[in-house]
Amino acid sequence: MRQRVLLTRPGERGEVLATALAEAGYDPVPLSVLRLETLALDAETRGRILELDGYDGVIVVSPQAAVCLAEAIDSYWPQLPLGLRFYAVGRATAEALHAALGVPAVMPPAGTGEDSEALLEAPSLKGGSGKRLLLARGEGGRERLVEVLGERGAQVDPLALYRRCHEPPQPPGSTWLEHGDYRALVVTSAEILHHLVKWCGTAALNQPLIVSSCRLATLATTLGFGSLHVASGASPSALAEALDALPAPRCATFDQGDQEKA
């Protein structure tokens, strides 16, 4: 029987992850607890897009931010300003930037991870004094990049391009989550982890939780999760490898035939 795996990644990237895990032999179940909504461009956002040629670089924190940024730029710039450097927190974001704008992106150095902390290790961001940077992100995003780059002497202008709308898990996923009735739960966002924990019963807190970074693992520990497994990254292949590496379960009560066996 295929082993049930609960997924929390929203949108097209969530569909790609589900397809990859299904091909790897799992039964992926999207919980659909987060919806991404593109924001209308207000006067401040339009002003920063119009001033794009005045920036030294653009930092993009997610594939969704890359897509929204490309749409905003296309509305005001027939071609990109020369010499503008793009930064991406990870490979998926870099790929989204290339697909949407046709540009390469500076990524975190190899072996440092795929998050804001890792991107801050990029040599061209180490000496930030005097630089003006645009930060493309979602509404209410983390302030880590703004704070650290500001301390390094850079001016960082946040650009909120989309909103994250949280929703409660729906049956049967909510029931599986409450009772820990699955092989593993996969979470790659701190915000989703905070949102999801309120629906996790005691059994769920002791089922395998796969996260994409040590930072998320630390958060999961404070939230009460007891079986943590850190993937080598947030890509579908990295998450599938983490699933494959899980120790054998004590009892198979989470496959597609579990109701019949009960």
Here the tokens at position 128 are: 């930030």
171, 123: one domain:
no
29, 104: one domain:
no
26, 44: one domain:
no
Task: Summarize pLDDT for 147-159 with one digit per residue, the tens.
Answer: 999 999 999 999 9
DSSP per position, the chain: -PBEEEE---HHHHHHHHHHHHHTT-EEEE---EEEEEPPP-HHHHHHHHTGGG-SEEEE-SHHHHHHHHHHHHHH-SSPPTT-EEEESSHHHHHHHHHHH----B-PPTTS-SSHHHHTTSHHHHS-TT-EEEEEEETT--SHHHHHHHHTT-EEEEEEEEEEEE-PPPTTHHHHHHHT-SSEEEE--HHHHHHHGGG--HHHHTS-EEESSHHHHHHHHHHT---EEE-SSSSHHHHHHHHHTSPPPSS--SBTTHHHH-
44, 120: one domain:
yes
Here the tokens at position 220 are: 């999961």
Which of 150-164, 167-181, 247-261 has the least mean pLDDT?
Answer: 247-261
End of a domain among 164, 185, 220? 164
| pLDDT tier, 102 (very low <50, low <70, confident <90, very high otherwise) | very high
End of a domain among 164, 196, 217? 164
85, 150: one domain:
yes
| Number of domains, the chain | 2
Task: Summarize pLDDT for 195-224 with one digit per residue, the tens.
Answer: 999 999 999 999 999 999 888 999 999 999
Domain that holds residue 83: 37-164
Question: How does the average pLDDT of the chain come out, rounded?
Answer: 90
Task: Summarize pLDDT for 17-64 with one digit per residue, the tens.
Answer: 999 999 999 999 999 898 899 999 999 999 999 999 999 999 999 999
Q: What is the pTM of this model?
A: 0.78
Q: What is the CATH number of the domain that holds 144?
A: 3.40.50.10090
Residues 4, 179 contacting (CB under 8 angstroms):
no
Q: How far is the C-alpha of 185 from the C-alpha of 177, rounded, in Å?
A: 9
160, 179: one domain:
no
**Confidence at residue 106, expressed as pLDDT on a 0 to 100 scale:** 96
107, 196: one domain:
no
**Confidence at residue 258, expressed as pLDDT on a 0 to 100 scale:** 39
Model confidence at 163: pLDDT above 60:
yes
Q: How far is the C-alpha of 179 from the C-alpha of 203, rounded, in Å?
A: 6
139, 183: one domain:
no
Share of the chain above pLDDT 90, in %: 76
End of a domain among 164, 190, 209? 164
**Confidence at residue 141, expressed as pLDDT on a 0 to 100 scale:** 78
Mean pLDDT of 238-250: 89
